[in-house]
Amino acid sequence: MKKVVFQPKVRYKLHPGYLAWILHRATGILLGVYLFLHIWVIHHLSQGEEAFNEVMAVVQSPLFHLLEIGLLATVVYHGLNGLRVVFIDYGNLAKRDMMRKVVYAVLAVSAILVVAGAVPMFRLAFGL
Amino acid sequence: MVKTVTFSVFRYDPEKDTRPYYKDYRVELRRPGMMVLDGLNQIRWEQDGTLAFRRSCREGVCGSDGLNINGVNMLACITHIEELKEPIVVQPLPSMPVIKDLVVDFTDFYAKYYLVKPYLITKTPPPSDRERLQSPEDRKKLDGLYECILCACCSTSCPSFWADPNYLGPAALLKAWRFIADTRDEGADERLEIINDRDGAWRCHTILNCVEACPKQLNPTEAIAELKKAIIHRKF
């Protein structure tokens, strides 16, 4: 019989790269879920104009405009961080003096783009 | 009065304990610049002789005392106690089977290391009158690769290594690139054959924990990136 051995699972420190990877996974899953929702909305086209207009009215509601800010954040972060990952492998972003700075840069640029995009969405949501 | 710090140490004796627990010890800072290993020695020599941990050279050369200290893998012998937050939580390297207390089983780690053929492979015979020479420039390409001391801090810091029991891990892959990058070596093809696998270089998700953990300031992620490039260059 195989002897049962204990393998410690520790709460490892969230280094910037580790955090960036966890966010990348999380946004990846969210994008997958969104894709199905998106296809579900679009498939109403095949059921005629009325059905499509009905579902579009739902997703044009203020709540969905606010959710779209979250979608924007998900897409922007996943895309920018994806580029970072590509350039770690095929550029030189894995360098010790670069690696943390690039994670911070991805987070900063994502934040700017999301805030810039959130303004018109807020206006739409609240009819300003 | 001598200042003291608290060490919270992972304890587990599979013959006695049903589950691991943490035991607190007070360590006296008797001189400036004490390392975590000095603290562990003080505990074992003066307070609790049953505490098990590995150590040998006590200066960051042998790689015996890789431990998880305050959530980060590092060598106890070159980590200053005074630079750490209290309590200093000392745990064994993550994901490795515990033999006792802080001592873990390296069998799997070494097996993966041998898989990448960590030795010079040559097909052409050496010159008859001297050894295989290398230019200083070619030798310089191995800087940052050959210094690995096999402490396993990198591999056991890697979430991919935790999750995938078959992943070769950063230490083995860094060593593979150390030989592939060596101008005297002729074993690149057979090594890349092994590494071009979902449990080889492609399991690396560039999380960079290995680079943060390496006590010798090496860069396994960069080495793995070089391996990925070499695999692609070989195919196309």
Q: Is the pLDDT of residue A128 over 80?
A: no
Which of A7, A13, A88 faces B221 most closely, judged by CB atoms? A88
A91-103 pLDDT, tens digit per residue, is 989 999 999 999 9
Nearest-Cα distance to chain B for A113, in Å, is: 24
- Burial of B20 per CB tally in 10 Å (0-12, 13-18, 19+): middle
Residues of B in contact with A5 (CB under 8 A): 14, 97-98, 105
B63-109 pLDDT, tens digit per residue, is 999 999 999 999 999 999 999 999 999 999 999 999 999 999 999 99
Mark yes or no for CB contact A13/B95 under 8 Å: no
Residue B55 CA to residue B89 CA, distance in Å, equals 18
In terms of CA atoms, which chain A residue is nearest residue B201? A89
Residue A92 CA to residue A69 CA, distance in Å, equals 32
Q: Is the pLDDT of residue B115 over 80?
A: yes
How far apart are the two ends of chain A, measured CA to CA in Å?
A: 70
Mark yes or no for CB contact B228/A11 under 8 Å: no
Residues of A in contact with B10 (CB under 8 A): 8
Q: Select from A3, A4, A15 the residue whose CB has the most chain B CBs within 10 Å, as the one to mutate to test that interface.
A: A15
Percentage of residues of chain A with pLDDT beyond 70: 97
* SS3 call for B175: helix
Q: Select from A3, A9, A12 the residue whose CB has the most chain B CBs within 10 Å, as the one to mutate to test that interface.
A: A12
Q: Is the pLDDT of residue A39 over 50?
A: yes
pTM: 0.92
A49-93 pLDDT, tens digit per residue, is 999 999 999 888 889 989 999 999 999 999 999 999 999 999 989
Task: Select from 1.10.1060.10, 3.40.50.1100, 2.60.40.10, 3.90.470.20 the CATH code of B107-235.
Answer: 1.10.1060.10
* SS3 call for B42: helix
Which of B70, B96, B229 faces A7 most closely, judged by CB atoms? B96
Same fold, B4-104 and B107-235: no
Determine the Cα angle at B54 with ends B32 and B83, to 5°.
Answer: 30
Q: Is the pLDDT of residue B1 over 90?
A: no
* CATH 3.10.20.30 is held by the domain B4-104: yes
Give me the mean pLDDT over the A7-12 stretch.
86
DSSP H helices, B81-146, are 107-115, 136-140
Give me the mean pLDDT over the B129-143 stretch.
95
Q: Is the pLDDT of residue A17 over 50?
A: yes
Residues of A in contact with B157 (CB under 8 A): 12
B140-186 pLDDT, tens digit per residue, is 999 999 999 999 999 999 999 999 999 999 999 999 999 999 999 99
Sequence ranges of the domains in chain B = 4-104, 107-235
- By residue count, chain B amounts to 236
Give me the mean pLDDT over the A11-28 stretch.
97
Helix (H) or strand (E) holding B75: strand B72-75
Q: Check the CA dihedral B126-B131-B137-B141 and report its sign.
A: positive
Average pLDDT, chain B: 96
Residue B2 has which token pair? 């001598």
Mark yes or no for CB contact B95/A88 under 8 Å: no
- Burial of A49 per CB tally in 10 Å (0-12, 13-18, 19+): exposed
* Structure-derived torsion over alpha carbons of residues B77, B78, B83, B89, reported in degrees to the nearest 10: -40
Residue B41 has which token pair? 């020695």
Residue B187 CA to residue B176 CA, distance in Å, equals 10
pLDDT, position A60: 87
pLDDT, position A1: 41
Residue with tokens 């509601």, as numbered in its chain: A61
B28-68 pLDDT, tens digit per residue, is 999 999 999 999 999 999 999 999 999 999 999 999 999 99
Q: Determine contact: A94 vs chain B, CB below 8 A.
A: yes
pLDDT, position A3: 56
ipTM for the predicted complex: 0.91
Residue B219 CA to residue B34 CA, distance in Å, equals 27
Say which DSSP state B45 is in: I
Q: How many helices (H) and strands (E) does chain B have?
A: 8, 7
Q: Determine contact: A2 vs chain B, CB below 8 A.
A: no
Residues 6+ apart with CB under 8 A from B227: B173, B176, B177, B180, B192, B195, B200, B201
Nearest-Cα distance to chain B for A39, in Å, is: 29
Q: In which order are the strands placed within the sheet that holds B66-69?
A: B21-29, B3-11, B88-91, B66-69, B72-75
pLDDT, position B219: 97
Residue A13 has which token pair? 């420190």
Q: Is the pLDDT of residue A4 over 70?
A: no
Q: Are residues B36 and B8 in contact, defined by beta-carbon separation less than 8 angstroms?
A: no
Which of A10, A17, A21 faces B68 most closely, judged by CB atoms? A10
